[in-house]
């Protein structure tokens, strides 16, 4: 509804409502970029650029549209074939932010995807504390939605969840961009969920199949921070990096500080490597 109410208004007839979206020429996404990349992974500098643009998009969803996106994954990050910049798409799982008194309810098991219980064959490549988004009430939603490898622990457990769940998804996206796989993927969905709720993220060394060169400590720190657990493996979304102040916290990390202070000018910067996207058109 916030998106529908925002200018420009949707066009409609007596029976059909049309929403006009910005054209994204090229028809490719981050998953296609990974599929074409050596080892199905991106260099850290490229991954940082795309993660930063996704972070900007999520921040806009949270602050301006007042929604929680709930479906971060490479397939939902389009690449403009003209500019090479990203566009976040597929908002069918997004939910309007509500206060705790207007809690959103929903049934369990609404898992999207392109990834079945054994993992998507197309992708095979070798304490319920809540974040207060703007200080005027907790945003909660116990609806069980998302793509299984990216779902935050609080969503799996059926706890009320907030925009912090999107930042968890960004951490998993950054891991996949740099490793060519997600960190908690297992053969069966139930095992994937068990790994998400009980395990910390592991970073394999190059000789163990990890990125070569190995990831910087700054990159590892951001991923660990956005998936941080408290004592005994417990999950407190507000204790995770970006869990309280969102994008502002990410900008202050050493990893994203490499992009400088002018985040508002990201769209004016050239993408990391034109060779990866100029042929999409």
- The residues carrying an active-site annotation are 71
Which pairing describes strands 77-79 and 86-88: parallel, antiparallel, or unpaired?
antiparallel
Q: What distance lies between CA 124 and its chain's CA centroid?
A: 20
Which pairing describes strands 95-96 and 11-12: parallel, antiparallel, or unpaired?
unpaired
Q: Strands, E, within the chain: which ranges?
A: 11-12, 17-18, 28-29, 67-68, 77-79, 86-88, 95-96, 110-112, 145-147
Q: The tokens 């502002």 sit on which residue?
A: 248
Cα Rg for the chain, rounded, in angstroms?
18
Which tokens belong to 107? 């049934």
Give CA–CA dist 251/2, Å, rounded.
Answer: 27
Q: The tokens 């490597």 sit on which residue?
A: 273
Residue 207: partners with Cβ closer than 8 Å, 6 or more residues away: none
Q: What distance lies between CA 22 and its chain's CA centroid?
A: 21
């Amino acid at each position: 509804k916030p998106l529908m109410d925002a200018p420009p208004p949707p066009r409609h007839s007596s029976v059909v409502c049309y929403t006009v979206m910005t054209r994204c020429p090229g028809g490719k996404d981050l998953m296609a970029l990974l599929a074409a990349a050596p080892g199905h992974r991106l260099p850290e500098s490229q991954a940082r650029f795309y993660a930063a643009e996704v972070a900007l998009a999520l921040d806009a969803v949270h602050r301006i549209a007042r929604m929680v996106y709930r479906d971060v994954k490479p397939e939902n990050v389009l690449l403009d074939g003209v500019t090479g910049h990203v566009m976040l798409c597929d908002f069918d799982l997004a939910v309007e932010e509500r206060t705790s008194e207007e809690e959103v309810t929903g049934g369990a098991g609404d898992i999207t995807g392109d990834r079945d219980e054994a993992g998507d064959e197309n992708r095979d490549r070798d304490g319920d504390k809540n974040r207060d988004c703007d200080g005027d009430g907790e945003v909660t939603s116990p609806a069980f939605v998302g793509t299984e490898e990216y779902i935050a622990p609080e969503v799996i457990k059926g706890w009320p969840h907030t925009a912090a769940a999107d930042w968890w998804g960004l951490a998993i996206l950054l891991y996949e961009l740099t490793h060519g796989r997600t960190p908690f993927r297992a053969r069966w969905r139930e095992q994937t969920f068990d790994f998400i709720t009980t395990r910390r993220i592991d970073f394999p060394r190059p000789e163990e199949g990890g990125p070569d060169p190995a990831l910087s400590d700054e990159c590892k720190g951001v991923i660990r921070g956005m998936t941080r657990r408290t004592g005994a493996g417990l999950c407190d979304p507000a204790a995770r990096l970006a869990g309280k102040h969102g994008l502002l916290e990410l900008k202050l990390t050493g990893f994203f500080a490499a992009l400088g202070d002018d985040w508002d000018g990201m769209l004016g910067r050239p993408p990391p490597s034109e060779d990866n996207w100029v042929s999409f058109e």
